[in-house]
Structure 1
Amino acid sequence: MGNLRNYLTSNFRKLYWKNKLKILIDISAYLNQIHTAGYVHADLHSGNILLSQDISGGIISYIADLGLSRKIEESDSEGVYGVLPYVAPEVLNKQPYTTATDVYSFGVIMAEISTGKPPYYDIDYDVNLAIKICKGLRPEFDKSIPKCYIQLANRCMDANPSCRPTASDINCKLISFWCCMIFNYGETAKEALVRKKAFESADLIIPTLITTIPNYSQTKFSSKLLNFPNLSNPLNSFASKPLNFQILSNPLNSSFYDPTLQNCFISNNADNADDQCDDNSGWIKTKLIFSPFSHCTFCY
């Protein structure tokens, strides 16, 4: 199936949100494994995400090209190497690589998979773009995309690395989105239905989105050495707030409550009450393992 960038070019109109979320769940799970091992990928972009199929025809996603991976906070005296739109602004400012720099790249991929277009495809990847990124430029989202998804992506792309969620947090949040859509499961039946309808409405818009882009040399989307001196300190162009995951003191939904799994309930208090979808990890793992859509590394 090739890499994610090429797959989006050829198949975007057939790629619905249950599959988009599944791809992102896989990627975030692999990214969490890399970070747990004490490494950062340091060159994460859609060209380095490989796709294949399982025996049921479901999409399996992998992170490839670990050649530039390094120990967390290991600096690179020779400069920055990558595809400019995916490089975190603090790295453009010569700061060390951290797990948060990969999370920024993941946020850009979230934007790309929602629109089908490479980030900033219509402008040159040069010092002017680097300046704009440091001043708060971020990929745009179509207005049809669910608010909860845009909020998560924007938090991943926050100018302040400490405000970005971890790969583990992202994985849990994406699974909660997926379960709202597939199983109508959430903290309450009402909020699960609201989120399910939001993603289903976004599915209806997919065939109307314009995804064709002018032909460009593939080298534009290839990793290269980046050196932009005298950039400004990174800023946000949107109001952001950090994710605040904590254990809930009470069970969420009695119909799914299992006392042995009470500590698996996770809440994101940064979301509005009508914009939450928290997950019972044990129940979700079981459903993902036996789901025909699933090959989620989170489950193993």
Structure 2
Amino acid sequence: MYEVISELPPYHDVSHDHNLAIRICKGLRPRFYIKVPQLIVHLIKRCLDSNPLTRPEAEEIKKILNQWSNELFNKLKNHEIQIQIREAENINKNLAVSSAPSTSLGLSYKSRSEDIYTSRLLNFNNLPEPKNTVDYYDNQNDDIISMESSVSLSLQIDISQLNI
């Protein structure tokens, strides 16, 4: 969903290395540079939950996406997804994208040779227990727009203390 919404690969702005894997276990999640409708934010957060048992199954995701698609296709007025999309579009028109990477949305980024976007087995010893960060999953601040360095500062780790 991140690539579809942002037109950027997840974690496009950090090296794909052991440190990234550890940061993900410690709660790092992709951030958006645009306003995303809250219904979509809620689904994304559920899909990225550190506890696999609380993530939605593929069939549930399919059902949700089909419902949204039907509401948009049939142009049924005042459905929540339509209201939220209009609200996000209005906000995004006014967002300054100067600090954001660029694609057809006006965002750009540079890929690195070490970045790999395919599944692979990573063989780590003593990986930290996966967890969700409070700032990403806090219901009172139910948004996932990038706050620049707020995530990276809170997720810095001392690699020398890890047994990798």
Q: Same fold (TM over 0.5)?
A: yes
Q: Which residue of the other structure, out of 122, 137, 162, is the alignment partner of 1:239? A: 137
The CA deviation at 1:147 is 0.4
The CA deviation at 1:200 is 3.7
Give the Cα–Cα distance (whole angstroms) in 2 for the partners of residues 121 and 143 of structure 1: 15
Q: Which residue of the other structure, out of 21, 29, 32, is the alignment partner of 1:141? A: 32
Give the Cα–Cα distance (whole angstroms) in 2 for the partners of residues 221 and 239 of structure 1: 25
Question: What is the aligned partner in structure 1 of residue 57 from structure 2?
Answer: 166
SS of the residue corresponding to residue 128 of structure 1 reads helix
RMSD, aligned CA: 2.8
Question: What is the aligned partner in structure 1 of residue 7 from structure 2?
Answer: 116
Question: What is the aligned partner in structure 1 of residue 84 from structure 2?
Answer: 198
Computing the radius of gyration from Cα coordinates, the structure with the larger value is 1
Question: What is the aligned partner in structure 2 of residue 230 from structure 1?
Answer: 126
Structure 2 unaligned regions, length at least 5? 98-104, 140-164
1:128 matched to 2:7? The reply is no
Q: TM-score, normalised by structure 2?
A: 0.65
Give the Cα–Cα distance (whole angstroms) in 1 for the partners of residues 57 and 120 of structure 2: 26
The CA deviation at 1:111 is 1.5
Give the Cα–Cα distance (whole angstroms) in 1 for the partners of residues 75 and 130 of structure 2: 39
Structure 1 unaligned regions, length at least 5? 1-109, 242-300
Alpha-carbon contact 1:158-1:164 (below 8 Å) kept: yes
Give the Cα–Cα distance (whole angstroms) in 2 for the partners of residues 172 and 231 of structure 1: 34
Query: Going by fraction, where is helix more abundant, 1 or 2?
Result: 1
Give the Cα–Cα distance (whole angstroms) in 2 for the partners of residues 214 and 154 of structure 1: 26
The CA deviation at 1:153 is 0.9
Give the Cα–Cα distance (whole angstroms) in 2 for the partners of residues 166 and 224 of structure 1: 22
Query: Going by fraction, where is strand more abundant, 1 or 2?
Result: 1
Give the Cα–Cα distance (whole angstroms) in 2 for the partners of residues 216 and 222 of structure 1: 14
Superposition map of 1:230-269 within 5 A = 230-237=126-133, 238-239=136-137
Judging changes above 3 Å, is the alpha-carbon distance between structure 1 residues 228 and 157 closer, same or farther for their aligned structure 2 residues?
A: same
Q: TM-score, normalised by structure 1?
A: 0.37
- Structure with higher RCO (Cα < 8 A, 6+ apart): 2
Percent of paired sites with the same residue: 34
Give the Cα–Cα distance (whole angstroms) in 2 for the partners of residues 214 and 169 of structure 1: 35
Give the Cα–Cα distance (whole angstroms) in 1 for the partners of residues 16 and 115 of structure 2: 11
Alpha-carbon contact 1:115-1:142 (below 8 Å) kept: yes
